[in-house]
Structure 1
């Protein structure tokens, strides 16, 4: 079992310790971020129920929180942001005895070398429904300070829980993300989705998110304790099956993908210079377009 420390931890009941970090309420955005405050009217069209907003719909712009977006970051800054962001997130959940585990592309990155995939624009984690409801009651709309182990890096993250967490099925599809852990410097985030037994009588032991990902209890538990980006993390018990079900077997064997090549000697995904130049040019182009749009909105407002 790759990278696992062979320590399997059994999921326990939701008995939570009080927070070891001192949260600072994000009071100024409570009204703006309430279900009423975030519903936008579209004239005669049906009002949008969407809670989390991004600055655009492209692959790049769709992975920033609109409130904290200041421009598209470079690849190096995104790497640095995501590395410290996931460390802060995992440490926070562990310190507060809250159960969470890495999922989707983040889990695939762990499978290869215990790190994020370098081309991934966001990170993904999951929690059980009970944990989701708890953080919604106790930790929602709070900011948490972070200092790296060497004391050099200092950041602040917002834990923002979608008020639509009570709706455990897809609904209109506008709120499939249940919560986000957001870097307030640039708007990059971790998507947090909750798993629920939505039909315990008809399909007992089946856990589902609002984006139709389905898991059996035996595939999730007991969780395996491992390391991810240098900190303690958890992954589902049957991680191989989960990854194959979501990405097919080729995701575990193909060594060239999205302009990157797997180098077994250093156990890293190495990006080609051609892709690096292309991504930088695209970043500058989208940054200019975003700046023009922001200036236009500022003038019209």
Structure 2
């Protein structure tokens, strides 16, 4: 349990004692300390779990839960890794088959009976992998025309979002009634809600076609986002299955909306289950129900196929792809750390005109749905005189600003525990970096993520997202070939996290407009965790004409001026330097850099030159291969000033002996970390030690020898996904109840 919650419980208990046993004024001080001691004792001993569950009714996790999970894993792992088919779906496929008698259930059957209605994020991935495997074995090659069915209703547990506050049927909740539920004034009501004539039991009569665009409650946002995904959201254009291709590369597979599908049907899930049962003729349907599917088996089948079958697998370069086909992707040319000026050069007008010419040619040869055509349709009209509308929308939750860290479409909740947040960011960081490495994108850590890397190779404990930058050339590649791709991370040999992480690549509509404008579209793309709404912010760095409009005298140019003259801050504060002469010199330097085409920026006015970035330094971040700019220290000093020396920030202190950031209130008198024996801190140190030790050695040798990494040098995930820990607790409970 989080520290602040423990403290809160202690104070509540102290107040209760004060009401029950009021003492005279002269003894109040002594009573206060006694009550605090008793409160601590109650919280930490027998009443702890009872009080927590009674007061908070939550399922918060901390790192001790992960330790407990790993300790007990051998006992129930065979059952934990099974994904079960919901009986309602099975019964729709085989309506004449009855369920087993609950009085004669085995342990496996009992477990199924208790979990068969719970959404398992691994099930749909297991079925996708099986469908791919069946296609490969049938054709003895990769069929470029192979595709997979998709629906948001099957991949996400949307129905649970419609049970947020109601215990009764939601079937009568239409858009007008939603006003009261969401507490939205009629005058400000969103234009994106449509009332439906009917809906199945348990589903509201609302259809959202866009973002809510109004501050409201968590429950209202969950309902609106689920309605949008259920009724209106486009499906991803393709899947990218990381780690299941030959040599550990990825497989790209186009998707299609399931035939005869509607918002509630899950036809894709049913059809793949039916096809899977045809491949196991010696197993009865109920045996399959109780046995379930193991995603690790499906991954292993594919690996064995690639290693034992003599087939030609073509790695088609992205630039030669005109349309979506099933293909193996992976960088076969290696990863160059040397960037060129051409990687950043971009002319919006030339880009749009060239794209239009390509689309015209594709229409002439009857391929109107080419990747170029999709890209052209996705961008805001270049010749428009108005600012493009805000593309990315976050969850606007009443009473907090934390909703800004979640994509509104996949929002679930605000109040994640520290462990949950770190575990989610851990896997999303690894997934993005592995995807970028596999595809061959030129990307590197930026802003808070770069600062986190500098200190110990990990995300900062107070960060809520990941920040990366990318060359303009790589952004165009991402937008053309991978926009609206759902990435599934299957790279880990650690079964605990396998198949849970799924991420949508979403590229904004104004990537060709390189000026800040009104600031609504400074983010070029996002890599979004569809299970939680957490995301990676992706911003492109480009050389554009926008530099000509800058004024070195403006306060917003402080970072730019430090790039032009590293001594700018000292000179500006000096009483002996004439400010007009200083600004004149800066303008001359800016003019020279511009003429040399050696000044690049993102749309949020962060500036760099080629020497800042080049060559990119290979490193490990969150345990996997990443890249950082060559002059990372200078960049961090420009952006955060004393960030490289400040051992305290955001309620945390960096403890060098532990190599992690620790909350100030824990071991507050131990600034070094050699006398801190807090259990959770010691566990955090234990689990992060492999990564932080590698980082410390790397930083010590940074200027003595070049460092290279291969994927064999990467670390396995250091955090178990929260969903699998919660699942294990249920599995353990059901196994115990069936045995005893």
Q: What TM-score comes out, normalization by structure 1 length?
A: 0.75
The structure-2 alpha-carbon separation of the partners of 1:27 and 1:47, relative to structure 1 and needing over 3 Å to count, comes to farther
Runs ≥4 residues deviating over 4 A: 23-28, 33-36
Partner in structure 2 of residue 152 of structure 1: 496
Q: Does 1:92 align with 2:322?
A: no
In the TM superposition, what whole-angstrom CA distance separates every residue of 1:250-292 from its partner, at most 9, and x where no partner exists? 2111111111111111100012458xxxxxxxxxxxxxxxxxx
Which of 41, 65, 68 is 2:407 aligned to? 65
Which of 123, 140, 153 is 2:466 aligned to? 123
Distance 2:510 2:253 in 1: 22
RMSD over aligned CA atoms reads: 2.6
Q: Which has the higher contact order (CA 8 A, sep 6+)?
A: 1
Which of 177, 197, 207 is 2:523 aligned to? 177
SS in 1 for 2:661: strand
Distance 2:485 2:256 in 1: 6
Q: Which runs of 5+ in 2 are unaligned?
A: 1-244, 259-373, 381-385, 549-590, 667-740
Distance 1:239 1:27 in 2: 45
CA contact (8 A) 2:379 2:511 kept: no
Partner in structure 2 of residue 253 of structure 1: 645
SS in 1 for 2:600: strand
1:84 CA drift (Å): 0.6
Length, aligned pairs only:
244
Partner in structure 2 of residue 292 of structure 1: none
Distance 1:84 1:259 in 2: 24
Partner in structure 2 of residue 78 of structure 1: 421
CA contact (8 A) 1:25 1:142 kept: no
SS in 1 for 2:506: strand
Q: Judging by fraction of residues, say which structure has more helix.
A: 2
Partner in structure 1 of residue 481 of structure 2: 138
The structure-2 alpha-carbon separation of the partners of 1:134 and 1:48, relative to structure 1 and needing over 3 Å to count, comes to closer
Partner in structure 2 of residue 212 of structure 1: 605
CA contact (8 A) 1:157 1:183 kept: yes
The structure-2 alpha-carbon separation of the partners of 1:74 and 1:26, relative to structure 1 and needing over 3 Å to count, comes to farther
In the TM superposition, what whole-angstrom CA distance separates every residue of 1:189-238 from its partner, at most 9, and x where no partner exists? 00000000013895121110000000011101110001100001100000
CA contact (8 A) 2:599 2:610 kept: yes
Q: Judging by fraction of residues, say which structure has more strand.
A: 1
Matches within 5 A, 1:1-301: 20-23=250-253, 49-56=389-396, 58-72=400-414, 73-147=416-490, 148-153=492-497, 154-199=500-545, 202=591, 203=594, 204-248=597-641, 250-272=642-664
Distance 1:131 1:66 in 2: 26
The structure-2 alpha-carbon separation of the partners of 1:266 and 1:209, relative to structure 1 and needing over 3 Å to count, comes to same
Q: Which runs of 5+ in 1 are unaligned?
A: 1-17, 37-45, 275-301
Distance 1:270 1:151 in 2: 29
SS in 1 for 2:510: helix
SS in 2 for 1:164: coil
Distance 1:244 1:159 in 2: 31
Distance 1:92 1:169 in 2: 28
